[in-house]
Structure 1
Amino acid sequence: MTDPARSSASDTTTAPTGPTDPTTAPTTEDGGSAVTDPRAGVAEDDPRWKRNIAIFLTGQTVSLLGSMLVQFAVMWHLTILTQSGSVLMLSIVFGMLPQAFVSIFGGVWADRHSRKLLIVGADSTIAVVTLGLALLMLSGVDDLWVIYAALAVRSTFAGIQTPAVSAMVPQIVPASQLIRVNGINQTIQSGMMLLAPALAAAIYANFDIVAVFFLDVVTALVGVGLLLLVKVPRLVRSDEGAPVSYFGDLAAGVRYIRTHAPVRWLMTIFAVTMLLVGAPSYLTPLMVTRTFGTEVWKLTANEIFWASGMLAGGLLMAFLGPRVRHRVALVVGATLGAGVLTAGLGVAGNLWVFYALGLGVGAAFTLMSTPAMSILQETVALEMQGRVFGFVGIVMTVAMPLSMVVFGPLADRYAVESLLVVAGALLTAFVAVVLVIPSARRSLAAVSRPAQDVGAVPEAAR
């Protein structure tokens, strides 16, 4: 396929071209031919896609559960062991920054190599590292550097796995079903946010952190085993056989994002929303304790309402997503709703109103992110998706710490209520600015309708 990133760059470039070039037609892993949709890599009437995505999501859910158990157990273990804010800060640094850095190259690898094998290799390596950590701690080696090292390695390989997972989904799911599948996936992740803390607490309290590590190894192996059963079409790149230039591919990915306005605007909306909703969501427990009381049930209820909102948004997209005909309107409307509701959190004088608003923000975030992710999966050329989702992973990984760097210290000087109002107002103002920029409206409108409605990815207005 001709690299669309080589087209002239301007803010009014054409919309991303879907993978319709025959040079990138997928073939099955066993060498047979595959009946494929020109965009998603599989036809909707192909009975295998439902089996494949069911196995894939089941494996990823099991693996995700293990990872979340480790996340909560490590956080609690370090808190109980050290009671040090600096230690928790370092655990976040080691657990997040490597993923942000490696995602840059992970996206390139996802476009160069088998995405399925990358996921298998990353998950297996994480399992081996976790097993090594468990054995070291059983032998009495429980120094902080061991935990930091394990967190860093896990984060590094997550940077390889995450873009490969996002880029592989359009290869095994019809374009018309992407928003539904993403809604189901978001529902599963939100459900894990409700289940994992309770399960991690039960295991950690009745056994110890080593038991959590062993369980994570088992869940990773189950996830890998199920993934090996999934048939994934292999993409034949237009430059296959050419010398590998990872930095050249990386530069091509940057050019692709820069020269495709719909992709650039969607990523900008996602990044700004993460910056202005992410950290304030983490500050809500502080507001609860300062304003409504320090009872543990109040903090627990706050987390449950936020997670339930995300769960509700995911379920809504799973059931109604394919019926959405104007997806960008949903993205923009949900972002605007998140801004208004976040500001509302700051003026809520009643605890239950505060909880209800938090539930609304969680739902709005899912209603924004699910169609946005689906649009990217549908419209970005298949051979570029690893790199694009690598940068999406960077946005997701970096936005939260960056937002906390700004809002965290401010929360020690000003009331959390005022910060929530400011964050919500800024997000609302950002949406207004996007809506008044003609090039932004034209670019986003070009990818608003599902591909099956227009027959081809439309060209953005110049």
Structure 2
Amino acid sequence: MTFTSEEFPGWKKRVAIFMTGQTVSMFGSFLVQYAIMWHLTLTTKSGLVLALAAIFGFLPQAIVSIFAGVWADRVNRRKMIMISDSTIALSTLGLALLMLSGIDDLWLIYLVMAVRSVGAGVQMPAVSALLPQIVPSDKLMRINGINSSLQSALGLLAPVAAAAVYSTMSIVPIFFIDVVTAIIGVGLLATISVPTLERAASDEKPSYFADLKDGLNYIFTHDLVRWVMGVFAVVFLLTVAPSNLSPLFIVRNFGSEVWKLTVGEIAFSVGMALGGALLAVFANKVNRIGMIIGTSVFFGLLSVAMGFTTNLIVFYILFFIIGLAVPSFFTSAMTLLQETVEPERQGRVFGFVGIVISVAMPIGMAVLGPLADVYPVESLMIFSGLAMVVFALAAVLLPAGRKAVAAAQKSSAQAANTEAPPASE
């Protein structure tokens, strides 16, 4: 059930409050994310410790995402976000108090990382499915673009702020900052009304596992949704080479100075922030399917170009352009799903998206990472780039791709025939 801006007066205020709260809360989460990894690196200097941190930081999110997607279709999504954010804050507060008392065992840090990961897995499908409930269908692309730009800006600001606090004080103040930002985020969300789906309010729901089965069946049988999920998975697998292996490429080819790695990350983040802003401005002119395929091909060509690069400045420019294109791919895909999937199933669909995002890139890194110790990184970039181009072209030329394009065109044609949402909670 979608609606236009004329059918939902006051939507701008609701969206502004929601996005402000989420941005503030996310800023605190980013601070903790950087601070914990730095703290573990500096205090242990252990690769095993960092590997375990990655497992505790990402695996719980991947596992819980599919279940959280079902929950997001069975309960009020606003309350779901508030509860998960509060739980994350409480776990962080507990760790801060324990560390103040002198208890800083690694297993406690891992435990809190796992709790935060579960909370993120619960939040992601709920937030993604809630947005179409408060954002008019004709403004979704623009709002998603603004949201992408804000997240990218946080990616630039958070490391600087975390470094300033961590270097002058310790990790504990960062935990307290996260608690405060979570309180602000939850408080702002509590002030807005969000439509409650009739399905969530009903006492006659299918069983949990019937909902889970229905969601999986929907994802794998719906031509357009299945196609978008497949593109998501392959692109996230193949972008490991130009994104995650770039630091290794820089060190091996241009030197191991820290500033060189830092400039690369800044170039990518600036590109993402600018890309999100441009997408917000030109949202109404964007063809969703065309942008998904176009950026996939573009990613492949850029990866090939990076593999042939022998000049550091050129490499930075290419990395910046990749960042510039990321919001166009990600936001177009997410918006297409929000516009296509009925509200009663969006939680489950975005729960599956969370699994793809959490699992695809680590799998790609598990394969390409060891290969980078055997083959030159530039060869892996060229190979993955060519594979991306071939896949993107196949995605629209094969029968499944043609069906997806037809389904997207049909969805766009029906977008105007919508109704206003029910009374708010």
Find the aligned partners of 2:123 and 2:415 in 1 and give their Cα distance.
33
Please state how far the C-alpha of 1:156 moved relative to its aligned partner: 1.0
Letter in 2 for 1:446: A
Residue in 2 aligned with 1:6? none
Alpha-carbon distance in structure 2 between the residues aligned to 1:303 and 1:371: 23
- Pick the aligned partner of 1:95 from 48, 57, 64: 57
TM-score, normalised to structure 1, is: 0.88
Q: Does 1:411 align with 2:372?
A: yes
Q: Which residue identity does 2:48 align to in structure 1? A: S
- Aligned residue number for residue 333 of structure 2: 372
Q: After TM superposition, give the deviation of residue 209 of structure 1 in Å.
A: 0.4
Do structure 1's residue 341 and structure 2's residue 288 form an aligned pair? no
Instruction: Using the TM superposition, give the Cα deviation of residue 243 of structure 1 relative to its aligned residue in structure 2, in angstroms.
Output: 4.8
The residue aligned with 2:250 is 288
CA distance in 2, matches of 1:103, 1:288: 34
2:352 matches 1:394: no
Q: Which residue, out of 47, 52, 70, partners 1:85?
A: 47
> 1:404–1:207: structure 2 CA closer, same or farther, 3 Å change rule?
same
1:353 aligns with 2:297: no
**Quick one: distance in 1 between partners of 2:410 and 2:276?**
20
The AA in structure 2 aligned to 1:188 is L
1:54 aligned partner, one-letter code: A
User: d(CA) in 2 for partners of 1:349 and 1:233?
Assistant: 54
Is residue 215–residue 348 contact of structure 2 (8 Å, CA) maintained in 1?
Answer: yes
Q: Is the 8 A contact 1:280 1:407 kept in 2?
A: no
1:167 is matched with: 129
Q: Does residue 401 of structure 2 align to residue 440 of structure 1? A: yes
Q: Describe the SS at the equivalent of 1:47.
A: coil
The residue identity in structure 1 corresponding to 2:191 is L
Shift in CA distance, 175/77, structure 1 to aligned 2, threshold 3 Å: same
- The amino acid across from 2:274 in the alignment is A
**1:327 paired to 2:288:** yes
- The 1-side partners of 2:8 and 2:417 are apart by 20
Distance 2:381 2:322 in 1: 12
Equivalent residue pairs, number: 418
1:117 aligns with 2:79: yes
Q: Call closer, same or farther: CA 1:333–1:275 in 2, change over 3 Å.
A: same
Q: Is the 8 A contact 1:265 1:444 kept in 2?
A: no
Q: Is the 8 A contact 1:133 1:146 kept in 2?
A: yes
Preserved CA contact (<8 Å) 1:138 1:210: yes
Cα 1:300/1:241, change in 2 over 3 Å = same
Contact 2:267 2:316 in 1 (8 A): yes
Query: Which residue identity lines up with residue 70 of structure 1 in the other structure?
Result: V
Q: Does 1:451 align with 2:412?
A: yes
| Contact in 2 for aligned 1:328/1:445 (Cα 8 Å) | no
Partner of 2:183: 221
2:214 aligned with 1:255, yes or no?
A: no
Match of 2:390 among 422, 426, 429: 429
Match of 2:421 in 1: none
Change in CA separation of 1:44 and 1:424 when aligned onto 2, cut-off 3 Å: farther
Is there any run of 5+ residues in structure 1 with no aligned partner, and where? 1-18, 20-38, 458-462
State the AA in 1 paired with 2:330: S
Distance change >3 Å, CA 333–CA 208, structure 1 → 2 = same
Query: Do the aligned partners of 2:70 and 2:347 also contact (CA within 8 Å) in 1?
Result: yes
- d(CA) in 2 for partners of 1:455, 1:380: 15
What are the Cα deviations for residues 313-368 of structure 1, in whole angstroms up to 9, with x where unaligned? Answer: 101111101222x2211111011101110111111111111111111112222211
Identity score, percent: 52
Alignment partners' CA distance in 2, 1:222 and 1:143: 29
- C-alpha deviations, 1:99-136, integer Å up to 9, x for none? 11111110000000000000000000000000000001
SS at match of 1:150: helix
2:153 to 173, 188, 191: 191
- TM-fit CA distance, 1:93: 0.2
Counterpart for residue 422 of structure 2: none
Task: Tell me the distance in 2 between the aligned counterparts of 1:414 and 1:309.
Answer: 29
Cα distance per residue 1:349-405 (max 9 Å; x no partner): 111111111111122222111111101001101000000000000111111211110
TM-score by length of 2: 0.95
Change (3 A) 1:450 1:350: farther
